[in-house]
Chain A
Amino acid sequence: AQKITQTQPGMFVQEKEAVTLDCTYDTSDQSYGLFWYKQPSSGEMIFLIYQGSYDEQNATEGRYSLNFQKARKSANLVISASQLGDSAMYFCAMRVNQAGTALIFGKGTTLSVSS
């Protein structure tokens, strides 16, 4: 069975600092995708970044980068130069290449950025 684990319920960081949000996954499939979403207090789910299991380079999107370590089955999100607006819940998710294509989500990590 596929599983996503986020072990940090909450993280605290100061503005302009970098922060790493941890995510480990479990799957026996060779082809899969890993996603990070942000959920601010307003409730919407915002896509941040994607990493494919066969992608040779770590994904980057602006201030977001994904530290993908396939052998360790980890896909940590790195946010550089944190901003107050980064305060939100962050979810790691996985999709495997099976008949169904739904994303499986972790429990999430609450990030609080202070000035």
Chain B
Amino acid sequence: DSGVTQTPKHLITATGQRVTLRCSPRSGDLSVYWYQQSLDQGLQFLIQYYNGEERAKGNILERFSAQQFPDLHSELNLSSLELGDSALYFCASSVAGVREKLFFGSGTQLSVL
């Protein structure tokens, strides 16, 4: 168990809908990262938050947004969903520093029908 909790584990929805994925980082970790994993794109970094502030942006679509709350949990909001958004979404957390590994949650499998 990595200590990172993601909910829900599975999500099935329709095109055009909006969903929210939730992540609770490991106790003490201030950084939260969101990744999208699909067969064609691999593991793509979406966005990082550090202690409530956006730290870095990757390949995140404008239809997607995220935030980190004062209790350090994070939510990833996906709107106007398209078939191509179907993927495994990972949350990860870490302490600061270039040597620090990321601890991954078990992921949310999103299926857009």
Contacts and interface: CB of A to CB of B under 8 A. Distances in A.
Interface of A: 31-33, 35, 37, 43-45, 47, 50, 52, 91, 95-97, 99-108
Interface residues of B, number: 27
B2 interface: yes
Nearest to B102: A103
A107 B106 CA distance: 19
Contacts of B35: 105
Contact of B98 (A37, A91, A96, A104): A96
Interface of B: 2, 31, 33, 35, 42-43, 45, 48, 55-56, 58, 88, 90, 92, 94, 96-104, 106-107, 109
B101 A99 contact: no
Contacts of B106: 43-44
Does more than half of chain B's interface fall in helix, strand or loop, or is it mixed? strand
Nearest to B41: A107
A102 B33 contact: yes
18 contacts: A32-B98, A33-B98, A44-B2, A44-B104, A44-B106, A47-B101, A47-B103, A50-B99, A96-B98, A99-B55, A100-B48, A101-B55, A101-B98, A101-B100, A102-B56, A103-B45, A105-B42, A105-B45
